[in-house]
Amino acid sequence: MSSDILQESANSTAQSQYLLFYLKGEIYAIKALSTSEIVEYSHITKVPKMHSYVRGVTNIRGNIVPVIDLLDRFGLGY
């Protein structure tokens, strides 16, 4: 991660914090306040007739949550 991004992240306040992630060497960010949680990868149940980027669903504490492949969703391929 570049030192500029790390420095900016270190200086940010709660109102401007971001969750950063890499996809194919590019850095992406979403506002941290729009993220409810990050969970460990678990079993995914495939769902027929879904978009190619929807890998399936998983059960998190009784809630069914869709699993999205961001590389496919953003059209970045593999």
Per-residue tokens: 47: 């769902």
Q: Across residues 63-72, what is the average pLDDT?
A: 92
What CA–CA distance (Å, rounded) separates 65 from 44?
A: 10
H-assigned helices in 2-77: 3-11, 70-73
Work out the number of other CB atoms within 10 angstroms of the CB of residue 61: 6
Domain ranges of the chain: 1-38, 39-78
Q: Name beta bridge partners: 26.
A: 23
Q: What is the pTM of this model?
A: 0.64
Is 39-78 a CATH 3.40.630.40 domain? no
pLDDT digits (tens, 9 = 90+) for 27-47: 999 998 888 888 888 899 999
**Residue 12 — pLDDT band, cuts 50, 70, 90?**
low
